[in-house]
Amino acid sequence: MLNISPNTINQQVEIERFNSFNQTNLSGANLMFTRWLVGTMALFILFLLLPWTQNIQSKGKVTTLQPGQRPQTIQSTIAGRIENWYVREGQLVQKGDTIVHLSEIKAEYFDPDLVVRTEQQVGAKEGAIASYGQKVAALDDQIDAMASEQEFKQQQLANKILQTEYKLASVQADMEQAYFQDSVSIVQYNRTTQLFERGIKSRADVEEKRIKMQEAQAKYISAQNKVEATRNELANARLELSTVRYEYNQKVAKAESDKFSTLSAKYDAEGSVNKLRIQASNYEQRSHFYFILAPQDGFITKAIKPGIGETVKEGEGIVTIMPADYELAVELFVKPMDLPLVTTGQEVRFIFDGWPAFIFSGWPGQSFGTYSGSVVAIDNMISANGQYRILAAPRKDGKEWPQALRVGSGAQGIALLNNVPLWYEIWRKLNGFPPDYYDEEKETAPKMKAPVKSIK
């Protein structure tokens, strides 16, 4: 029956006696299912209210914190031929241990006494420099001697000019005396001639005065010639003084030119000496590169040029080495959209390849087999894969990373962000919204001043 009437007969009829009533009654399983469904819904709603840690997941690999601790390739500084190996792959070497021996393959370095011969060239050039220095000193002495000689010669010519001036004054005085004597002899001759015409003087007196007059004229002409000769001698002395200055200036200039030429040759020789010294030092340093040494403590991982007798070029790799002491870190790559969510010092959880883990990305505290780290570096430039590289190191207060972990192992990183309800995270994922990364800061209301009452 439908049992829709307000008048029931359940109290008047014994329902248990009739099979039809027993078959139409609801079973107890229906009630149990209803209760189970209500309980499941309540549990699901409670589950949606649980806190969820937002995160960013990324693939990466294990590396080292310091660049000098990462695997490196030991390269040959010079071109050479492999003569002998002193290590094997996987061997632990100390800093300074010999790894491989190279021999020379370039013809200009075949001479075994190349450094000694270059040093001998340096010695010869140094001897030439000493000779140039002595020549410069001799030229300096020569210039000083010529300067002294010039000064002495100038003093000598000055004295000669002074003597010639005195001589000129003397001959000028003699010329004046001869002039007066000539004038007197002319007067006496004229007077004697007049007296001879009057018959007072004889012809002999006239001839005698004429001879004296001629002698006086001859002395006067001779005195004039001496004056002119002395003047010419004085002019020649003065000209000689000027000539001496010009001559010695030329000699000093030539000596200085030789001096500067010698200095130029000396400086050229000094440059050649420095060049030879550099070559000798380079040859000596090159001899040290025949033996390739371990730059630090580490393990020999792989020989790139294993054969004896193989030739290597300059800068070509010979062997790879892994440093023995290193600090592990994880290199991760994040998308540009997630880069603003990552900050230095932020916690990151890791899952390493080879170590089992049970992960709840939203509940890091309930995860098993994960290791914690913190972001120590973020690249400012995007990588070739279109993502940004971050570097994470172990946290001091976190679980110690496995001792057997090796550089190059794979790792999966989970960067932990804000805590939000689970329902919000599901809603965000369904809508494709980014995680919440804005810092919530309390905003303080600005203090408002009371309005100023208007003045009537």
Q: How far is CA 257 from the centre of its chain?
A: 41
Q: Is the pLDDT of residue 338 over 80?
A: no
For residue 105, give both structure tokens.
């393959």
2-6, 31-35, 183-187: segment of lowest average pLDDT: 2-6
Identify the pLDDT of residue 451. 45
Alpha-carbon gap, residue 86 to 89, rounded angstroms: 10
Q: Looking at the predicted structure, is the pLDDT value of residue 100 above 90?
A: yes
Which has more pLDDT, 98 or 51? Answer: 98
Q: Which residues pair with 101 in a beta bridge?
A: 84, 291
pTM for the model:
0.56
**HSE, side-chain direction, 13 A CA sphere, residue 208:** 7
pLDDT over 70 at 186, yes or no: yes
305-330 mean pLDDT: 88
pLDDT of residue 36: 86
For the segment 429-445, the average pLDDT, to the nearest whole number, is 56
Q: Can you name the CATH fold of 71-97+294-322?
A: OB fold (Dihydrolipoamide Acetyltransferase, E2P) (2.40.50)
- 422-431 and 28-48 helices, crossing angle to 10°: 80
Q: Predicted confidence band at 5 (pLDDT cuts at 50, 70, 90)?
A: low
Please give the Cα distance from 109 to 112 (Å, whole number): 8
Q: DSSP string spanning 319-365?
A: EEEEESS--EEEEEEE-TTTGGG--TT-EEEEEETTS--B--TT-GG
**Architecture of domain 50-67+327-431 in this structure:** Beta Barrel (2.40)
Domain 114-288, classified CATH 1.10.10.10, yes or no: no
Instruction: For residue 411, give the H/E element and its range.
Output: strand 410-421
Asked if residues 360 and 367 have their Cβ atoms less than 8 Å apart, the reply is yes
Give the pLDDT confidence of 353-384 residue by residue, as tens digits: 877 754 545 555 545 557 888 899 999 888 88
Structure confidence by residue, pLDDT tens digits, 216-264: 888 888 888 988 998 898 888 888 888 888 888 888 888 889 989 988 9
Q: Where are the domains of the chain?
A: 1-48, 50-67+327-431, 71-97+294-322, 114-288
CA gap 201, 185 in Å, rounded = 16
Looking at per-residue pLDDT, the higher value among 120 and 415 belongs to 120
